[in-house]
A = this chain, B = another copy of it.
Amino acid sequence: MSGSLLVDNVGELVTNVAGTGDGSPLGLRRDAAVLIEEGRVAWVGPARYAPAAGRRIDAEGGAVLPGFVDSHAHLVFAGDRATEFAARMAGQPYTGGGIRTTVGATRAASDGTLRATVRRLVGEAMRQGTTTIEIKSGYGLTVADEARSLRIAAEVTGETTFLGAHVVPAEYAGRPDDYVGLVCGPMLAAAAPYARWVDVFCERGAFDADHTRAILTVGQAAGLGVRLHANQLGPGPGVRLGVELGAASVDHCTHLSDADVEALAGSQTVATLLPGAEFSTRSPYPDARRLLDAGVTVALATDCNPGSSYTSSMPFCVALAVREMRMTPAEAVWAATAGGARALRRDDVGVLRPGARADLMILDAPSHLHLAYRPGVPLIRQVLHNGVPQCRS
């Protein structure tokens, strides 16, 4: 008991456990409290029945939610592309070509520089409620640089993704087969020890269906789970290929055919939507309602990266999802927590029930609705990660 911690005076508790009869996917509870022991949720129930605890956190009537699960982020990079962003806002289209700018800066950077950026961004995300974050490589694109990117990412998260197939680097221009051979051979071998997942940017101008299939298949054979970037800039084979290969998630999903939606609806593959990318590239948003109405599981993530979506803010993505993609606030909050957990095939995060990791946030607001109702406002008052209170933001 002495090590236990009780969170009470909760305005609204989002559990993401169905069955509270609130009609939303959030499993809302009123007058609830959460007991934490040894970094895990030990008990959830009515405050008046709360067990005794060694310490107490008073939520002061604020809503308490599972921490955000950001299942798509590119944090291992150097440099920024603020001027490219400004030029794009003045009318230049986004083609993904700027990725090579970041590749050059990343290769030239020291381990210490890359590590500092990763840690700064993970800390920034944590202050905004993100307690689980996936981090991809993909700005190294050499055997050594992909391996070190993942090694640095693995210092801060277990959700590391090998994205050697982000773009074909300049030195392989016109020789994509050769580059795919490198990715499938020595690069995968060097990266796999640090990676949980393998990912490919399957898109015109990046990797086609044959290359994507080849890379994901050898990644799977090496023990990695599959996820991919699909159907972002135009229609394509990515989503159906992901479903066929049993991907945990296909990400972006901006340009979908009826067959794509049908394939997703009949699968265990999550559609991860990344509205920060559409915001920062001034592109049309994915049709979340179509996916939800078809029964597809939807996740929200930031796509945090220095080119197309340099936000680390899951609350911002929730607000965009409601404004621009016609998700309800409850659907958006679920997608940013439990949905992200599904996209990472995790059942210990994104949910507040006994046994789950004690990752949660306390809002400076009485309800989850405020994450959409109060866009841009830093509403995360406190974050607990593995049961440990982080610095108040």
Contacts and interface: CB of A to CB of B under 8 A. Distances in A.
Given A82-B373, A282-B323, A378 B90 contact: no
A387 to B, nearest CB: 24
A377 B329 contact: no
Given A89-B322, A89-B326, A322-B89, A83 B369 contact: yes
Interface residues of A, number: 39
B311 A127 contact: no
B369 A85 contact: yes
Interface in A309-332: 310-313, 315-317, 319, 322-323, 326, 328-329
In the assembly, how many copies of this chain are there?
Answer: 2
Given A82-B370, A85-B369, A367-B82, A375 B276 contact: yes
B376 A85 contact: no
A372 interface: yes
Interface in A188-225: none
A276 B316 CA distance: 13
A323 B374 contact: no
Interface in A294-320: 310-313, 315-317, 319
Contacts of A313: 375-377
Contacts of A376: 128, 276, 311, 313, 315-317, 319, 376
Contacts of A319: 279, 376
Given A89-B322, A329-B86, A329-B89, A124 B377 contact: yes
A280 interface: yes
A101 to B, nearest CB: 14
Contact of A316 (B322, B328, B373, B375): B375
Contact of A374 (B310, B322, B372, B374): B310
Contacts of A326: 89
Nearest to A312: B377
Among A80, A85, A374, which residue has the most Cβ atoms of chain B within 10 A?
A374
Given A282-B323, A370-B82, A378 B378 contact: yes
Contacts of A378: 127-128, 378, 393
Given A279-B319, A313-B376, 10 more contacts: A82-B370, A85-B373, A86-B329, A276-B375, A279-B323, A279-B375, A310-B374, A311-B376, A313-B375, A317-B376
16 contacts: A82-B373, A85-B369, A86-B372, A89-B326, A89-B328, A89-B329, A127-B378, A128-B376, A128-B378, A276-B375, A279-B375, A310-B374, A311-B374, A316-B376, A319-B376, A378-B393
A-B residue pairs, 8 tightest by C-beta: A316-B376, A313-B376, A82-B369, A85-B373, A378-B378, A82-B373, A311-B376, A310-B374
